[in-house]
Amino acid sequence: MKRTRVYDALNAESATPELLIKGWVRTKRDSKGFSFLEINDGSCLKNIQVVIDHTPEIEAVLENVGTGASVSILGELVESPGKGQKWEVRGKAVEMLGFADPETFPLQKKRHSDEFLRTIAHLRPRTNKYGAMFRIRSELSWAVHRFFHEKGFCYVHTPIITGSDCEGAGEMFRVTSLGFEDLKKNKEEQLEKDFFGKQSHLTVSGQLPAEMLALALGGVYTFGPTFRAENSNTPRHAAEFWMVEPEVAFYDLHDNMDLSEEMIKFLISHVLDKCAGDIELFAKFVDKSLMSTLENILKEPFERLPYTDAVELLKNCKKSKDFEYKPEYGIDLQTEHERYLAEEHFKKPVVVYDYPVEIKPFYMRLNDGGKTVAAMDVLVPRIGELIGGSQREERLDVLERRINELGLNPEEYWWYLDSRRFGTAPHSGFGMGFERMLMMITGVTNIRDVIPFPRTPNNLDF
């Protein structure tokens, strides 16, 4: 017989004389002559209750069934006389598929701290919170693809291994086929023996190759893992994370802002519609202001202001003296500044644009006057920066000058410069941290809790 998912059983339109349920036991209660089992198979937040009468054969199986065990239940779907759910299963037969020792199974019926659950990341998806989190993550992934597909964008795959540094930050993981002893020898000689014959790294962004595809296909996006070798133990940073990166030909900075706002609102609406039960868990137990925050983001147009105005606002606000980092022109905004703008001053998302040229990468378009670039950051409540993007520099002479000013090697970007030699066109794009979007949607405050198996300094388990 084909298995019925718990989600489908709980949402059935009528009773079923025979069905097969398989899942993990959340609780078991024994009474005289029968037992209650709460079964969850990961298809939804709710468990389904199984009531099964004792027979010698069934008692022999149930004796070894405890929390964490996986079971197969054959029975009928009937109306539940108890409160809380419409249906329950009247069990006729039970088979234990996988034993879980009740003395050593770490997920008992109590609340566990996030810190503890990170140490058992391989088991935490079986909890209510993390089962809900990873269902939301799945649905949000699909929403990203749906948004761009409906707008006619092409989904493109950009390299994970790269020879160029998009950000120019130098915080990249090295990729090599050489052994440790070889790496200690003469650098130039060993590079020739390495797999690619040059230094290679894990990518920090798919932007540069995505630009090439946008300048052929019009609108594209890439959605995949990116890597930063930052030794940063903060709640917002991980060494491996996912990025959503659209690039669009013939878009200017304002088109870019419009796209980012439209995407954020679409993703929130999609998840609220498709994951209502899972989101409710986070609104109840993680952040009681979650729903009002998300509804406000959907309702209000995003504020837009130039970087210069943002710095002046921060310097003159009442909270200025309390900032750990004093806001100054020519310095990137800190998280405390970003959150003040989005949470306290405007009380909604803010798009800060036109940043000083000195603090932004070479590929951002130089504005008239040469002091600022057409960059933008989207700041949201509780997170700070969610999106960073820009109009890209399409003028060959300006781009070559910027590469040289920053001490980069033009030869490494020969292919990138070719796109400006042959049919250059205005274009724009941005990158959104997928995990930060998840943090905003769920109210979770640590990036380690929105990734199944986080990669952070000194953490490579699982």
- How high is the pLDDT of residue 169? 53
pLDDT tens digits along 177-217: 888 777 767 666 777 788 998 889 999 999 999 999 999 99
pLDDT tens digits along 86-124: 999 999 999 999 999 988 999 988 889 999 999 999 999
- Beta strand pairing status for 219-227 and 240-249? antiparallel
Residue 159 binned pLDDT confidence (cut-offs 50, 70, 90): very high
Query: DSSP string spanning 222-260?
Result: EEEEEE------STT--SEEEEEEEEEET--HHHHHHHH
Residue type, 423: G
Residue type, 11: N
Residue 233 binned pLDDT confidence (cut-offs 50, 70, 90): confident
Q: Of the candidates 195, 254, 230, which has an alpha carbon nearest to the alpha carbon of residue 430?
A: 254
Q: Which of these ranges, 38-52, 230-244, 417-431, has the smallest mean pLDDT?
A: 230-244
269 has pLDDT over 80: yes
- How high is the pLDDT of residue 279? 98
- How high is the pLDDT of residue 178? 86
- How high is the pLDDT of residue 168? 57
Is 400 in contact with 414 (CB distance < 8 Å)? no
- How high is the pLDDT of residue 166? 63
* Averaged pLDDT for residues 303-310: 98
The position carrying tokens 């759910």 is: 85
Query: What is the share, in percent, of the chain residues with pLDDT greater than 70?
Result: 97
Per DSSP, the three-state class of 391 is strand
328 has pLDDT over 70: yes
- How high is the pLDDT of residue 84? 79
- How high is the pLDDT of residue 223? 98
pLDDT tens digits along 313-327: 999 999 888 999 999
Residue 235 binned pLDDT confidence (cut-offs 50, 70, 90): confident
* Averaged pLDDT for residues 230-240: 87
> For residues 334 and 352, what is the distance between their CA atoms, to the nearest angstrom?
13
Mean confidence (pLDDT) of the chain: 94
pLDDT tens digits along 355-378: 999 999 999 999 999 999 999 999
- How high is the pLDDT of residue 366? 98
Q: Of the candidates 141, 154, 319, which has an alpha carbon nearest to the alpha carbon of residue 222?
A: 154
Query: What is the share, in percent, of the chain residues with pLDDT greater than 90?
Result: 86
* Averaged pLDDT for residues 336-350: 96
Helix (H) or strand (E) holding 74: strand 70-79
* Averaged pLDDT for residues 135-156: 98
Give the bridge partners for 37, in sequence order: 28, 50
- How high is the pLDDT of residue 302? 98
